Amino acid sequence: MRAAVIFGLGCSTKSLEPFRKAAQKSSFQIDWCIGLPGASNQADVILLFGGDGTIHRHLNQLARLGLPVLIVPSGSGNDFARAIGIRKVRDSLNAWRTFCERQDNFLTIDLGIISSLTDATGAAPKLHATARDSRLTTHRYFCTVAGIGLSSEVARRANQLPRWLRGHGGYALTLLPTIFRFAPTPMTISIPDGINSWTTRSNKPAILAAFANTSTFGDGMKIAPQAQVDDGQLEVCVVAGIDPFQLFCMFPTIYSGRHLKISGVEFFPAECLKIQTERPLDVYADGEFVCRTPIEITVHRAALKIVTT
């Protein structure tokens, strides 16, 4: 059996040693290669050491390869790992031991896909256009949560912090001062209504809109408590343009999911959406910059195999 290994920031071959030792005790011979396998160097499984950002940067290729992926949570934000039941490195090691013995302990999960609806000239398409009608400049998978508005601004600022601080409350520290500086922006969120037609689902100034494949983002903020990685849909959370003080008071409830009961917060499931804003806004997913609005977001069902405990 051959395993490919991907290392994120702060990880090295030293992180791999416990997994090497576990493999030596199995009945299978494990060959290792660093980096993703090429067409002539195929692997049977991929070990990825890192957080949400590292996973995001490799998602397109991981989905294309279709190989089982073992996540070893080693990043500043590990929301995806938590969503699949991997909270500590020892959880990954236990899952690896089982995989070495049986090769059948994996589940198949959904991924979100973000498509830019800006054409080659930089202009947005007409309101009735779909992703297929536009010249797509971005086509990116995401595994946790995509967002625009306040969440994107927080992600941008948090990415400028030292890595150790991001992993120890950096997202929350960044969110609190940003709340009082961010103005609501008119957003239109549409859902499909038949073939090549759309109907408006939400149309109002909003402080943020999040499109969740997992329940948490930002290292534990439970933006979408009902989100599941294998239900074929995204959970959409839209927070209206409420005043900064009310938003500040709402902030602690995000960690428990109680924000969904607050007036001004809209929540609904969707398999496909189109998002347009009064002015172009940055789109972040898995804590990484993707593109700017307008965008279309869809779900790719059963897109990735994940090794689990």
Is residue 305 within 8 Å of residue 69, measured between CB atoms?
Answer: yes
Range of the domain at 88: 2-110
Q: How far apart are CA 147 and CA 128, in angstroms?
A: 23
Q: Which of 36-45, 248-257, 288-297 has the lowest mean pLDDT?
A: 36-45
Task: Say whether both 176 and 189 belong to one domain.
Answer: yes
Residue 307: inside a domain: no
Region 125-139 average pLDDT: 46
CATH code of 63's domain: 3.40.50.10330
Residues 225 and 176 in one domain: yes
pTM above 0.75, yes or no: yes
Q: What is the pLDDT of residues 194-222, one digit of tens each?
A: 777 899 999 999 999 999 999 999 888 89
What domain count does the chain have?
2
- Is 248 found in the same domain as 294? yes
State the pairing for strand pair 45-50/2-7: parallel
Please report, as a single letter, which amino acid is at residue 308: T
State which of 69, 92, 110 marks the end of a domain: 110
Q: Examine the fold and report which residue of 110, 142, 167 is the final residue of a domain before the chain moves on.
A: 110
Between CA 236 and CA 269 the distance in angstroms is 6
- Does residue 57 sit in the same domain as residue 197? no
- Alpha-helical (H) ranges within the chain are 13-24, 52-65, 79-83, 89-102, 150-158, 163-165, 171-179, 244-250
Burial of 159 (0-12, 13-18, 19+ CB in 10 A): middle
User: What is the structure's pLDDT at 38?
Assistant: 64
pLDDT classification of 138: cutoffs 50, 70, 90: low
Interatomic CA distance for residues 156 and 166, integer angstroms: 12
Return the bridge partners of 149, or none: 208
Say which CATH number the domain at 260 has: 2.60.200.40
Q: 141-196 pLDDT, tens per residue?
A: 999 999 999 989 888 888 888 876 776 677 777 877 788 788 899 999 999 997 77
Which bin fits 166, alpha (ψ -120 to 50), beta or left (φ > 0)? Answer: alpha
- Choose one of 76, 91, 110: the last residue of a domain: 110
